[in-house]
Structure 1
């Protein structure tokens, strides 16, 4: 990964990259890059990281505004032998303090704005690193980027394939995120190499325009960077801002043929897909990971494409494991048949030759019969090496080669996985996720539905609408025939607490609405 961009430039082929705004790493360098220019930017960053004190085996923490230069900085750190740790700027200062203490980085790369914001909360981020580099100028406790710019990059450092390569944190929906350690063997050989095969329908082609709208501090995009550079599509679009009005100009200027985005971003981009001259008319493949998708959203984008056979690929996995199953959706598979509504809870089967799954009783860990709900365990060669500062927690979740996902699901007799809920969120009377599927299908005004299970009380439905209002008649019609639930609460998108990947922080939302955050599950496996 340290020489990925160099090798792409040396081959003389690779995508032209267009950004929705300049990199924080190079704010004056514009929004269009060829492979050689990207390689030069990574080499330059490797030079100043080394000058700031980064070296073999040391950790480099990166926390800044969302953009793809998270991965360029990570590749620069890998080049000098360091281990990059990508931390989201969406994390609360208290969470950043916990994670930086665990990391003990030699270098922290951040911005003066984030240092100031954390300082106002009583957290001095610079105190947890040997050297703090501020990308946008000097700040208290930090040096400005100009003080280390211009240093030559050392020769690329090669590391053992089982040595730590990168550290990414989990979403943190239930508390402080975990710091997940991956190696070259688990991430590059176990995930990126498999994904780089030129498969029919879903493989990247030389004439593709690939758009990515993601949370770049998270592990998925580091792997994606390896794949998209090696597959060399015609163009790559980077969307760092998930506001549809800000994304629209770039998407219209370069209509994508492949779109990968966060589930929450797809939800927000739906108004663009409904326009007559929508920017997704040429898209042949949509890709979603990270979180559950609901049928109405997928249907909107498949219908927006003018291709004869557009495909939606839904991946299910975790930061710790990478993808465990894939499921493909088409217009036909999402159409209601004889009144039966399709569900995206069917996650498909384990990745052939890569993943094995078993469903067990959450208390005894004995296998359960097909068709019965249980805790999902996974076996994969791409499983992470450790949790930084929480090795005992990692060991509890890994037993005899099986990884405890913390998800409750049903394994059908044909081997398919039907996801019900996270164990910590699972209620005794209903699947929150399946109920959300039905509600979103029935409520045209809903941007998102969230059902919160709680002990000793009916589940609490939350409906996100544009204006924070929901007609009573609409709710009564939507809830007809469903298990008993409390009266719904309508909120706007901005009123719902979320992680950096757009996931709803269910426990925080429950506490915000009721003053209590207890859940039905144990939370032992989160």
Structure 2
């Protein structure tokens, strides 16, 4: 196991990697939005130089130490570089997904009060068309791909003297990212160097068996780079110096497919929604996943058919799927390894991905509390899941009392409902706000996904005083009701399904279903069986 010889810093990450002589080649599925002339194949010294240049741009735009820099643009790995550049001059970057609705972006920008907004022409134009001018919520706005009224262009700030690198105290705010926002306006989560770089990236940057990147690896990442996970993942992977790091910047197979075929990853981390969209390509012979030894999924629940398809898509003798469970506020809390054998079906059992494994040794602890009394419940009993971790964020921007309400001393209320097994493993039931009286909506979704091959995704919505409503996503928006009734005959009573296509379902920047927005779209009541108090 490789031990860290120095702590990982965000602002000087690429300088430090270059000083260590790292030779990882970074390949992008398309050129950087902030520097398209550099192409899609980059090296560590070149990236270090680019981060220094961008730090100069931000300084020229008036950013000073302690200021907040909001970043909202189409998904690309340059979110990581912009975060590094802002941190390098002592500013606090705040990454916002371009998938957020204009009114939500407005709310978050008002809470942030940024000295600078970094955005692109498409998001600026679409927000203005919707009646929201994003430039009104920051002191200045920097457009990365052109010029527009009321903004700075990169040409306006290019060539500024690069300020000296700044390394903030370990417990000061370092970076801000937002939660998924499946039930409403996302929270703005504040992390420090200690929580995200030391506790999260630092932990992953060891050459752990199975998990750690190896010198010959080609590590692919197909996630939302606006998410805090992008910072920890990039830092930890690059610290271990694999042969290649691949950044897949869009889930569309027209962009991702040829790129993955060309580079053939050996490890792959992707959003659950991206895995679902790529599943039929994984089932094709001679696909780009033949060399994968390790798949990683976080962000959201994975269903067995998708895990099974990817494990069988590789020629590796013993591929492993790492399923992690955690939150933006905490980082990973538990993990479990899934194998081909674990995902095999049998006539008397249904494989599940709801068993989320055990807390990370020496890092996290879990307890389950009664939702009414907030007292611990016995092993095996269901209740609210609390965690204890030193990687807990510093708070929520503009909603600190909301963050404080979720704390009970050193314990943090995750808002998830689950149970601890006799051996201390975590069995997930539902988000508290999504809970249903029939059992677990996520477990029902698992079974339906497994039994009806044409179902890409199933979402169970609780409806008080009526059977829960299944929303089924298929390729063409059609579903054979005979197949549905046969597949659900032995399940708790459900309403007749609503069938939609993938693009008809409202989603977050990480591909999660925005359940409240889906309820609004279907004309369903917003009331649920859960309280929603802990979201």
TM range (shorter): over 0.9
Tell me, what secondary structure is at the counterpart of 1:454? coil
Tell me, what secondary structure is at the counterpart of 2:318? coil
1:24 maps to 2:42: no
Q: Who is 2:430 aligned against?
A: 421
For the residues of structure 2 that align with 1:253 and 1:137, how far apart are their CA atoms?
31
Q: Who is 1:53 aligned against?
A: 62
| Aligned with 1:452 (options 448, 461, 478) | 461
Say if 1:451 and 1:462, in contact at 8 Å, map to a contact too. Answer: yes
Tell me, what secondary structure is at the counterpart of 2:430? strand
1:402-417 alignment to 2 at 5 Å?
402-417=411-426
Q: Who is 2:385 aligned against?
A: 376
Give me the TM-score of the superposition, normalised by structure 1.
0.99
Q: How many residues align?
A: 526
1:99 maps to 2:145: no
CA shift, 1:338, in A, is 4.9
1:122 maps to 2:147: no
Tell me, what secondary structure is at the counterpart of 1:138? coil
Tell me, what secondary structure is at the counterpart of 1:9? helix
1:300 maps to 2:312: no
Q: Who is 2:99 aligned against?
A: 90
1:43 maps to 2:43: no
1:342-357 alignment to 2 at 5 Å?
342-357=351-366
**Cα deviation digits, residues 198-247 of structure 1 (max 9, x gap):** 11111110000001000010110111111111011001111011012321
Q: Who is 2:76 aligned against?
A: 67
1:386 maps to 2:395: yes
For the residues of structure 2 that align with 1:159 and 1:14, how far apart are their CA atoms?
27
Say if 1:5 and 1:229, in contact at 8 Å, map to a contact too. Answer: no
**Cα deviation digits, residues 280-317 of structure 1 (max 9, x gap):** 00000000000000000000000011011000000000
For the residues of structure 2 that align with 1:411 and 1:338, how far apart are their CA atoms?
27
CA shift, 1:516, in A, is 2.1
In structure 1, runs of 5+ residues without a counterpart are none
CA shift, 1:28, in A, is 2.0
Tell me, what secondary structure is at the counterpart of 2:284? coil
CA shift, 1:404, in A, is 0.5
1:511 maps to 2:520: yes
For the residues of structure 1 that align with 2:462 and 2:23, how far apart are their CA atoms?
48
CA shift, 1:197, in A, is 1.3
CA shift, 1:137, in A, is 1.5
CA shift, 1:383, in A, is 0.2
- Of 437-446 and 237-246, deviating more is 237-246
| Aligned with 2:245 (options 236, 241, 246) | 236
| Aligned with 1:108 (options 113, 117, 126) | 117
1:469 maps to 2:470: no
For the residues of structure 2 that align with 1:514 and 1:479, how far apart are their CA atoms?
24
**Cα deviation digits, residues 434-476 of structure 1 (max 9, x gap):** 0001001101111111111111110111111100000011101
Say if 1:127 and 1:141, in contact at 8 Å, map to a contact too. Answer: no
1:263 maps to 2:272: yes
**Cα deviation digits, residues 232-291 of structure 1 (max 9, x gap):** 100111101101232111111110000000000000111221111110000000000000
Q: Who is 2:496 aligned against?
A: 487
CA shift, 1:425, in A, is 0.4
In structure 2, runs of 5+ residues without a counterpart are 1-9
1:267-282 alignment to 2 at 5 Å?
267-282=276-291
For the residues of structure 1 that align with 2:119 and 2:345, how far apart are their CA atoms?
49
1:195 maps to 2:204: yes
CA shift, 1:508, in A, is 1.4
- Of 317-326 and 131-140, deviating more is 131-140
